[in-house]
Structure 1
Amino acid sequence: MSEPQHASIKDERPSGQPTPAHSKYKKFVLPLIGLLTLGFAYISRSTGNASNSTFEVPVSQHCVKSKPYYPSFNKSVNLILNDKQFKIDSIKKFSGAIQIPTEISDVNPQPDSDLEYYSEFFKLHKYFEETFPLVHSHLKVEKVNKLGLLYTWEGSDPSLKPILFMAHQDVVPVNRELWDSWDYPPFSGHYDSETDYIWGRGSIDCKNLLLAELEGIEQLLLDGYQPKRSVILSVGFDEESSGFFGAKALASLLLERYGPNSMFSIMDEGAGLLKFRDNLYVAAAVNAEKGYVDVNIAVHGHGGHSSVQPDHTTIGVASELIFMMENDPFNYDFSLDNPIYDVLQCVAEHSTFLPPHIKDAILKAPVDEDERKLLTEFASSRRDLRDMIRTTRAVDIINGGVKANALPGLTSFVINHRVDIHSSVNETVENDLYWAKVIAKKHGYGLAYHDEVIIPETKLGHISLNYEKMLEPAPVSPTSGHVWDIFAGTVENLFQNEILADNKDAEVYVTGGLFSGNTDTKYYWDLSRNIYRFVASVFPLQQLRTIHSVNEHISASSHMSAIAFVYEYIVNVNEYGHD
C-alpha cells in the first residue's frame, strides 16, 4: 500500500464533495442491516401520512431472488438446524469459548516479547484442540506469530483455488466498572433456555463465527467429507486493535505461499440477515468498507506565564480549528453504486410499509436526478444512515496544558476519519489541511505538513499536521458472477428452503452491503477480489446494540444457522465452483 502524495493546499474553500472513484475503487459501529432498521422505522413512523404518489412501483425490477444452490452432500444440515442434542452440544462448545477472556487492548506487546500477556489465548488454543479433535487431527495447524491460527484442509485437487474463512480470537475488554450491569457475568457464556440467548463478551464479535467455522468443518469431517478444493481457516488475535500482529502476519504468509488472487473467495465477520415487516429478509453481505486515516494536528506556541495573556492560547487556536471542522462536515453523496442502495431497492420493491414518496425516491433515483437528491436528503438526515454516504471526521483525543498558571506551549488533537468509498486518504487529508491553513493565516501561525513548511513559522509559533494510520477504501467485491452466485445461492437455499421452509410468506433476498469500520480483511485484498463479510444469522437490532457493550448476546438458533452455512458453503463451492 502506497502512502498518499502530498496533499495540495488550495486557497479556495473545498467543498468536501467526494471526487470520482480513485483507482482502488475499481473496489462496531452497527452493521448496515442494523442501521437500516432504524432508518425504516423512522420512515414508517414519521412519514406514514405522506400523500399518495401516482408512480407505480415496479415489481422485482432490480432486487431479484438468487438461484438457490442445494448441496447434494447434505448429511448433517437437518441435524445442525433441528436436532436438540446437537444444539445442546454446540451451545456448550460456544459457551466454553466465551468463558476464556481473550481481551485485547489498543496497544499490545509483540507476542515474542511477552507471552504471559497472551496467556488466555493459549488456553483458547488448548480448548479448541480438545473441543474439535477431528479438525486438529485432519487439518494442518500452524501458529503464525505465536498466536495466529492457520488451519489448512487439503483438497484432493491442488490446482483449484482454496476457500478462505476468517475470524478473530480476541474480544474488546469489559469495563470492570460496568461488570455488575450485565444480566449475566460477561465471561459466563450463560445460556438462557427461555429466551434462547447465549450471553457474554464475544458472543457476536466474533467467537460465534469462529466456533461456527470450526464446528462446520468438524461436522463435515465426522460425516466423511473430502473436499476437492482446499479449505483454509485464518484466525487473527488482535483484530480489535487493527490486526497488526495477527491478520497482517497471516495474510503475508498466505500471499507468499499461494500468490495474488489465489483464493476462490474470502469470508469474514460482517452483517447478517435483517427481518423487515411483512416477512421480508435481506441478507446484506458486506462487500465494501470505508477507508481510514488518523490525522494529528498540533498547535505549537511558546508558553509563558498565564498572567500575561495572549489573544488566543494554543488551546484556543486548536479549539477554533476543531469548531470550524465540525461545523463544515464532508458533503453527502449517495452514489447509486453504493452497496447501501442495493438494500434500499430490495425493501422498496418487496416491502409494503414504506411511504410512497420514499419508495418513489429509491426506485426512480437511477433515472430522475431530483428523486436521487431526495433520497440523499433523506439518508443524510438520519444518523444511522448518513455516515455511509460521506467521509466522517471525529476528534477523539485532545491534549494541552500542564498547569493552571502556565500558558500551554503545545496543544494537539487526533482526528479519526472514515473515508467514503468514492474518496481517498489524500483527498481527506487535503480537506484538513485547508482548514489548518485558514486558522494559521487568521492567527498568524506558520503551517507544516509532515515537516514540509507550507507557511514559515512566526513569532507566535506554527501548526503541524501529520497523518498516522491510514487505509484507502477497500476494493468493492462483485455482487454478480459465478463466485457471488454460489455464495448468494447458498444463503438463499439455507434460509428460504430450509430455515424458513414452514413460513410460506417469507421472502429472502441477498445483496451487498457496506461497513463504516474495517475488518481484518484489509490485509487480504491481494488474495481475492471476492471478499464477503457475512455471518449467516438473523440479528435483531437489540442484539446488535450490545456489540462492544454491556449484555452482548446472541440467539442459539442464529448460531446454528451460521454452522449450517459453513457446512453448505464448503460443499456447494466444491460441487459447483470452477476457477
Structure 2
Amino acid sequence: MIGLPDNDDWYSTPRSFVEKYKKPLLYALAVIITLGTILIVFAIIHAHPSPREPLCPKIEPLVPTFNRSIDTILNDPTYKKQSIHRLSSAVKIPTVVQDNNPSPHDDPDFYYHFQEFQDFLKLTFPLVHSQLHLQKVNKFGLLYTWQGSNDTLAPLLLMSHQDVVPVNEATLSEWEYPPFSGHYDPETDFIWGRGSNDCKNLLIAQLEAIEQLLADGYAAPERTLLLSLGFDEEASGNHGAKHLSEFITNKYGNDSLYAILDEGEGIVEVDKGIFVAAPVVTEKGYVDVIVTINGHGGHSSIPPDHTTIGIAAQLIAALEDSPASKAFQFHDDNPVYGFLTCTAEHSESISKKSRNIILNAIKKSKKTLQALTDFLVNDSRLRDLIRTTTAIDKIQGGVKANALPEDTSFLINHRVDLHSSVNKTLQSDIDLIKDIAKKFNYGVSFMGETLLEETELGSIDIIFERPLEPAPLSPHKGPVWDILTGTIQDVFQNGVLDEDEDIYVTTSLFSGNTDTKYYWNLSKNIYRFNPSIIDEDLAKTLHSVNEHVDVPGHLSAVAFIYEYIVNVNQYGNSD
C-alpha cells in the first residue's frame, strides 16, 4: 500500500515519536490549559466584576453600658410633653441680634431678653445649675463646666448659641403662628417660632441631656465636659464666642480640647428608608467687601452718562458675571464627596449615570473629576460647595428724585472656596473693579491706598471686613471620629429608625460659618452636626418665615447628646 511501511515496524513509529516529544507536548498542553483558564476567568470577571470595597460602609454602632434614659427620652409621652414645654418656652423669649450690636458693657439694656433667657435656663435646669460650675464671659456668654475626675484628660466641648436672627415685620402676616409664640401643633408635631431650628433646639437639647444624666445619677465623668453658649453667633460672634474662646484658651491652653461639637448639618433621607448623617468637618472662608463710588452731585435734569448708582450697577453686573464667581472646581479632598458617595451607593432613586459619575471620581483623573464638577454645577443645592460665592447683599445711594447721588455703596459677601483664600478673592475683586474704573474714567483706592488716581468724575473706594480663611479640615478617621459616628449609628439605627430603615455616616460641608471659627486653636477635632432628621421643608424655613422644628427630631438630639457624653467617657478615656 502506497505510503505505508511494508513491515510491522510502522506500528513502532508513533510510539517513538511520542516518547521523543512527550515532555514538550505535555508542557505545551499545560500552557494551553493555563492560557485558556486565564481567558475564561478574565471573561467571567469582565462580565461580572468582583465587588469593590464600599466607599460608604455601614458603621458599627457604639453601645454604652449606661443608657438608662435613652428609651424614655425617645418614647415616653410624659418626657415628650415636658420637653415641648421647655423648648416652646425658650422660643418665646426674643433673644434677637442685629448685624452690628453694642458691647454688653456699653449697653446692657440692649441685652435685656438675654438676661430673661438666662433666668429661664436657671429655673428650667436646676440640677445643671446646682452641680455644674457656671461662668459668665463678657456678661452674657455662658460657660458651664462639669468637672471631670481625671485632670489629665482633655475636656470635651459642646457648643450652641442663645441668639436668633430678627423677623422681618413685613412678613408677619405670612407666619402660620406668631414668630415668638413657641406654638406647638400636635397635628404636625411641630414647634413654631424664630430660633426653634437655629438653634435653641440644640441648646435646650444639650441642657436637657445633661440634666437627665444628673437625674439618672450618672457619676461625674472622667473627662471634663464644657458647654459654651455664645450670644451673637448670628452677628459673627464678636461679643460672645470670641470672648468665650479666649477665656477657654487662657484656662486650658492651645490644643487642649478632646473635641468640639457645634451646630451643623443634620440627617437627611436620600431615598425611602435610607438616611445619611454627615457631620461637617470644615467650613468655607468668609469676607465682606464694601465698595463705595464717590462722585459729584447736581440736579438730575443734567445727569452725567452714568450716575454713581449707574457705576455701581455696572460693577455689580460685572462681579456677578465674573469668571471668578463661576470658577467651579471639585477637588477630591472636598468632604462633600462623602455625602455624595453614600447617596450613590445606597440610594435607588439616583440615576445610573449620576451614580457612575460620583463613584468614578474616586479614580482622581482629570476626566472623572471634571465629570463630577459638571454634575455638581447643575445642582443648585450643591454647586456653591465647589466655588467661591459672590452675593451683593446691601446697597445704598441717593436721597431725592431730583438730586444726583453723590455717593453709592454696596456690600459683597464672599464665601471662600476651600482651595482659595481671602487674598485671592480680594485680588479678583480689585482687578475687576479697576477694569470698570478705567472704562468709565474713575480712580480706585483699596484700604486707603491709591491704585488708580482719582479723576474729575470721582473715585471707587474698596475696603474689606471680617476676613476668615477656610477652616482646617478635621480628621474623619481615628478614635475621636469613631466615637462620634458610632454614637450616631447606635442612637438612630437602634433607637430612632424603624427596623427596615438604614443610616450611614460620612462627611460633608456647608457654606455657612459657625462660632467654631474662634476655636480652631483649641482642637483639631471640630465637628458641626445637628443630631436630627431634617427634611427640605424644615431647611427652607431656617432664617425665614415659619421657622419650625419637629419634636421627634428634637428628642433624637437630646438622646444623641446624652449618649455621646457617656460614650466619650466610656470609650475615649485614653488621650
Residue 128 (structure 1) shift: 1.0
CA distance in 2, matches of 1:294, 1:389: 19
Consecutive unaligned residues in structure 1, runs of 5 or more = 1-53
Asked if 1:442 corresponds to 2:439, the answer is: yes
CA-CA distance at 1:57 after TM superposition: 10
| Aligned AA (1:236) | G
- RMSD of the TM alignment (CA)? 1.7
Deviation at 1:60, TM superposition (A): 5.3
Superposed displacement of residue 403, structure 1: 3.4
Of 488-497 and 293-302, the range deviating more from structure 2:
293-302
User: For residue 561 of structure 1, what is the aligned residue in structure 2?
Assistant: 556
Q: Which residues of 2 match residues 339-488 of structure 1 at below 5 A? A: 339-367=335-363, 368-488=365-485
Go from structure 1 to structure 2 and tell me whether the alpha carbon gap of 1:477 and 1:548 turns closer, same or farther (over 3 Å shift). Answer: same
CA gap of 1:177–1:55, structure 2 versus 1, over 3 A, is farther
**Cα deviations across residues 337-396 of structure 1 (Å, max 9, x unaligned)?**
111111010011111111111111000012243332222112112222111110011112
Q: Which runs of 5+ in 2 are unaligned?
A: 1-46
Say whether 1:157 aligns with 2:154. Answer: no
Counterparts in 2 of 1:156 and 1:381: CA distance versus 1, 3 Å = same
Q: 1:548 aligns with which of 540, 543, 546?
A: 543
Which residue number in structure 2 is paired with residue 523 of structure 1? 518
Aligned mate of 2:265, from 252, 260, 271 = 271
Q: 2:88 aligns with which of 87, 95, 103?
A: 95
Q: 1:193, 1:58 → 2: CA distance?
A: 47
State the distance in 1 between where 2:383 and 2:431 align: 23
Taking structure 1 as reference, are residues 60 and 127 closer, same or farther at Cα in structure 2, changes over 3 Å only? farther
- Maintained 8 Å contact 1:57/1:360: no
Distance across 2 between alignment mates of 1:313 and 1:192: 53
Higher relative contact order (CA 8 A, sep 6+): 1
Match of 1:527, SS state, is coil
TM-score (norm 1): 0.87
Which structure is larger by alpha-carbon Rg, 1 or 2? 2
> Secondary structure in 2 aligned to 1:426?
helix
Amino acid at match of 1:411: T
Deviation at 1:282, TM superposition (A): 0.3
Q: Give the equivalent residue in structure 2 for 1:105.
A: 98
Q: Secondary structure at the match of 1:494?
A: helix
Q: Could you say if the C-alpha distance between residues 111 and 56 of structure 1 is closer, same or farther in structure 2, counting changes exceeding 3 Å?
A: farther
Instruction: Report what 2:492 is aligned to.
Output: 495
What residue number does 1:538 align with?
533
Write the mapping of 1:232-311 to structure 2, written as runs, cut at 5 A: 232-311=226-305
Deviation at 1:410, TM superposition (A): 1.9
Give the secondary-structure state (helix, strand or coil) at the position aligned to 2:263. Answer: strand
SS of 1:126's equivalent?
helix
Contact map agreement 1:59 1:350 (CA 8 A) in 2: no
For 1:286 and 1:568, locate their aligned partners in 2 and report how far apart those are by CA, in whole Å: 20
Separation in 1, partners of 2:473, 2:524 = 8
CA contact (8 A) 1:71 1:575 kept: yes
- TM-score, length-scaled by structure 2: 0.88
Q: What is the CA–CA distance in structure 1 between the aligned matches of 2:451 and 2:360, rounded to whole Å?
A: 47
Residue number in structure 2 paired with 1:86: 79
Q: Is the 8 A contact 1:288 1:474 kept in 2?
A: yes
Task: Quote the Cα distance in structure 2 between the aligned partners of 1:244 and 1:330.
Answer: 31
CA shift for structure 1 position 98: 1.3
Which residue of structure 2 aligns with residue 116 of structure 1? 109
Q: Distance in 2 between matches of 1:88 and 1:347?
A: 35
How big is each residue's C-alpha offset from its partner over 1:140-188, in whole Å with a ceiling of 9 and x where there is no partner? Answer: 0111111111100000001101110001111112233333322222222
Equivalent position of 1:148 in the other structure: 141
8 Å CA contact 1:60, 1:349 repeated in 2 = no
Contact 1:95 1:198 in 2 (8 A): yes
1:299 & 1:66 partners in 2: Cα distance?
Answer: 56
